[in-house]
C-alpha cells in the first residue's frame, strides 16, 4: 500500500474509533484493539506476524509502566478512603486562608488531584466547598470552577495519575518520572493562574437557581469528618505522595553526580519509579494502620484494581496501535515528508490529543492514544524522531503538550463535566459557560507554556 493510502487509512481508522467509542458506546479497549487489527489487515502486514505483533505491543506497555500505574492508584485510593485527602485540603485552607476561597479551592484541588482521580476528588472535596460557602458567603460558582480546574490540572499533567504515567512510559521517560512531575508542576503554574482569573470572572456572571438546579445529596463538612473519625496527621497524609518524589529526586541527583559503589547502586534502586512508588504504598499502609483501617486493605486494593484495570487495558491496547503504526510503514512515509509535518513541531501532538479528547470525552484515552501514535523518543522509526524530539527533555515536553490537548475540551461526553455540573448545582448550559470554557482556556494556556518552554529548553 502506498504512503498516501496508509495515511488515509489511518485517518479513517481514527474517525471510526472515535465513532465506536462516542456513539456506539464500545469500550475504548475493544475499540482500540479492533481498529489496530483492522488497520494491520488493511495495511497488508503479513498475517503470520500479526498475532506476535499484537502480543508484543500489549505486553511491552504492561512491562514498562503497568506496576507504576497500580501503585499510584493504590496510594490515591488510600488517601481518599482514610480521610487523608480531606486532611490535605484542611492544610491548604489553613495555609491560604478563608478570605481567598477560590485560591484555597484551586490549590486544594491541585494537591489532592495528584494522587486522586479528578472525578473522585471533586466529590470528596465538594463538602469543604459547601462549608466554606456557608461560613463566609463565598461565590459558589467561582469556588466550583477553581476546585474543578485545580483537580484537572494535576490529573492530566502530574504523575502518579495514570494518564501522565502511561504517557511517560510510552514516550520513553518512564524511568525518569521525576522529570515529568517537575515539568508538570512548572506547566501547571500559568494554567492555574488562568483558572483563578477565570473563576473570579465567571463566578460573578453565573447565578445559580437553587430551586431549579439538580438536587445533590451531600453531607455537611462536619458529618463527613465524623464519617472518617479522627483525620490522620499531616505528615502521614502527605508522606505517600512526598516520599516517592524524594526518592526519585535522590535517584536523579545520584545519577547526575555519577555516584558508584554500593551507595550509588542503593540510591538508584530506591529512585526507580517502581520502587519509589512501592515505598509510597508502604507509607499508605502506615496511614491505614494509624486510622485503624488495616482490615479494609484487601477491599481497598480490590477496589483500586477494578478502577485501574480498564486504564491498564486501554494503555496496553494503545501500545498495540503504536506497534501497528510502526510496522505498517506509517512513520517511514511521514519521514519522507518530514519537512511538512515538522512545521507543526510541538503543536502536532497537542492537536491530535485535543481532537481525540473533544470527540470521545476521556482525557486518559486521548493521552494514551496520542502517545501510542508518537512512539518512543529513543526509537529511530517513531514520530518522535521525525519531529526531532530525541531527548528526555523533549519527550517530557511532548507529554505536557499531549496533556494540554487532553483538556480541550470537557463537555457533555465527559463524565467529569457532569460531576462538576451536578455537584456544583449548575444547569448544563451553565456547565458549558464554566467547565467547558475553563478547560479550553486551560488547554490553550498549557500549550502556550509548553511552546515557550520548548523555545528555551530545546
Note the pLDDT of residue 280. Answer: 93
Please compute, for residue 196, the number of CA atoms within 13 A of its CA located in the half-sphere on the CB side: 17
Which whole-number Å values give the CA distances from 434 to 108, 187, 406, 408, 441, in the listed order?
A: 19, 22, 17, 13, 11
Contact yes or no for 200/142 (Cβ under 8 A): yes
The DSSP result for 142-202, as a single string, is HHHHHHHHHHHHHHHHSTTSHHHHHHHHHHT-GGGHHHHHHHHHHHHHHHHHHHHHHHHHH
Quote the CA–CA distance of 151 and 115 in Å, as a whole number.
10
Is 94 within the bounds of a domain?
yes
Quote the CA–CA distance of 359 and 450 in Å, as a whole number.
23
Contact yes or no for 195/149 (Cβ under 8 A): yes
Domain limits for position 21: 4-206+218-457
Is 212 within the bounds of a domain?
no
Radius of gyration of the chain measured on its C-alpha atoms: 22
Note the pLDDT of residue 451. Answer: 97
Contact yes or no for 151/352 (Cβ under 8 A): no
Is 247 within the bounds of a domain?
yes
Residue 235: CB atoms within 10 A of its CB come to: 12
Quote the CA–CA distance of 146 and 138 in Å, as a whole number.
12
Four-residue CA torsion sign, 62, 64, 68, 69: negative
Is 213 within the bounds of a domain?
no
Note the pLDDT of residue 330. Answer: 73
Is 239 within the bounds of a domain?
yes
The answer to pTM > 0.75 is yes
Is 13 within the bounds of a domain?
yes
DSSP 62: I
Number of domains in the chain: 1
Is 159 within the bounds of a domain?
yes
Quote the CA–CA distance of 357 and 420 in Å, as a whole number.
17
- pLDDT by position in tens, the chain (length 458): 666 788 788 889 888 988 998 788 898 899 989 999 999 999 889 999 999 998 988 887 677 678 888 998 899 899 888 988 888 888 887 888 777 889 999 999 999 998 888 988 898 888 788 777 766 667 899 999 999 999 999 999 998 888 899 999 999 999 899 999 999 999 999 999 999 999 999 999 998 865 543 344 445 666 666 777 778 999 999 999 999 999 999 988 888 788 888 889 999 999 999 999 999 999 999 999 998 889 999 999 999 898 888 888 888 888 888 888 878 877 677 667 666 777 889 999 999 999 889 988 889 989 998 998 899 999 887 889 888 999 999 999 999 999 999 999 999 888 899 999 988 889 899 999 999 999 999 999 999 999 999 999 98
Q: 402: which residues sit within 8 A by CB, 6+ positions away?
A: 167, 349, 350, 352, 353, 366, 367, 370, 371, 374
Four-residue CA torsion sign, 286, 154, 367, 145: positive
Cell numbers at residue 413, please? 461526553
Note the pLDDT of residue 157. Answer: 97
Please compute, for residue 156, the number of CA atoms within 13 A of its CA located in the half-sphere on the CB side: 39
Is 211 within the bounds of a domain?
no
Note the pLDDT of residue 214. Answer: 39
Amino acid at each position: 500500500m502506498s504512503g498516501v493510502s496508509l495515511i488515509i487509512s489511518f485517518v479513517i481508522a481514527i474517525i471510526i474509533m472515535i465513532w465506536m467509542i462516542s456513539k456506539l458506546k464500545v469500550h475504548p479497549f475493544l475499540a482500540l484493539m479492533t481498529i489496530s487489527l483492522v488497520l494491520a489487515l488493511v495495511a497488508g502486514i503479513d498475517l503470520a506476524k500479526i498475532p506476535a505483533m499484537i502480543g508484543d505491543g500489549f505486553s511491552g506497555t504492561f512491562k514498562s509502566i503497568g506496576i507504576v500505574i497500580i501503585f499510584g492508584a493504590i496510594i490515591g485510593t488510600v488517601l481518599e478512603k482514610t480521610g487523608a485527602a480531606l486532611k490535605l485540603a484542611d492544610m491548604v485552607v489553613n495555609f491560604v486562608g478563608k478570605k481567598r476561597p477560590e485560591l484555597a479551592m484551586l490549590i486544594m484541588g491541585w494537591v489532592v488531584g495528584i494522587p486522586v482521580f479528578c472525578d473522585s476528588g471533586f466529590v470528596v472535596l465538594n463538602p469543604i466547598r459547601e462549608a466554606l460557602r456557608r461560613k463566609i458567603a463565598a461565590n459558589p460558582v467561582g469556588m466550583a470552577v477553581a476546585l474543578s480546574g485545580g483537580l484537572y490540572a494535576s490529573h492530566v499533567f502530574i504523575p502518579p495519575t495514570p494518564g501522565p504515567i502511561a504517557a511517560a512510559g510510552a514516550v520513553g521517560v518512564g524511568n525518569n518520572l521525576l522529570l515529568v512531575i517537575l515539568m508538570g508542576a512548572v506547566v501547571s503554574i500559568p494554567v492555574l493562574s488562568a483558572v483563578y482569573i477565570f473563576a473570579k470572572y465567571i463566578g460573578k456572571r453565573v447565578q445559580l437557581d437553587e430551586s431549579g438546579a439538580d438536587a445533590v445529596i451531600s453531607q455537611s463538612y462536619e458529618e463527613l469528618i465524623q464519617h472518617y473519625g479522627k483525620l490522620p496527621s499531616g505528615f502521614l497524609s502527605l508522606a505517600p505522595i512526598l516520599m516517592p518524589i524524594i526518592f526519585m529526586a535522590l535517584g536523579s541527583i545520584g545519577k547526575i553526580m555519577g555516584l558508584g559503589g554500593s551507595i550509588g547502586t542503593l540510591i538508584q534502586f530506591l529512585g526507580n519509579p517502581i520502587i519509589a512508588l512501592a515505598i509510597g504504598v508502604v507509607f499508605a499502609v502506615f496511614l491505614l494502620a494509624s486510622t485503624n483501617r488495616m482490615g479494609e486493605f484487601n477491599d481497598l486494593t480490590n477496589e483500586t484494581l477494578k478502577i485501574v484495570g480498564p486504564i491498564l487495558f486501554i494503555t496496553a491496547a494503545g501500545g498495540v496501535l503504536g506497534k501497528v503504526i510502526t510496522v505498517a510503514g506509517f512513520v517511514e512515509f511521514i519521514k519522507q515528508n518530514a519537512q511538512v509535518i515538522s512545521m507543526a513541531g510541538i503543536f502536532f501532538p497537542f492537536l491530535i490529543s485535543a481532537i481525540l479528547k473533544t470527540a470521545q470525552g476521556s482525557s486518559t484515552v486521548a493521552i494514551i492514544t496520542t502517545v501510542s501514535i508518537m512512539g518512543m523518543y529513543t526509537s529511530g522509526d517513531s514520530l518522535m524522531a521525525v519531529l526531532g524530539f530525541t531527548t528526555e527533555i523533549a519527550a517530557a515536553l511532548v507529554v505536557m503538550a499531549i496533556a494540554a490537548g487532553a483538556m480541550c475540551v470537557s463537555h457533555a461526553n465527559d463524565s467529569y463535566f457532569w460531576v462538576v455540573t451536578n455537584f456544583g448545582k449548575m444547569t448544563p448550559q451553565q456547565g458549558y459557560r464554566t467547565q467547558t470554557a475553563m478547560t479550553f482556556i486551560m488547554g490553550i494556556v498549557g500549550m502556550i507554556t509548553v511552546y515557550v518552554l520548548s523555545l528555551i529548553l530545546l
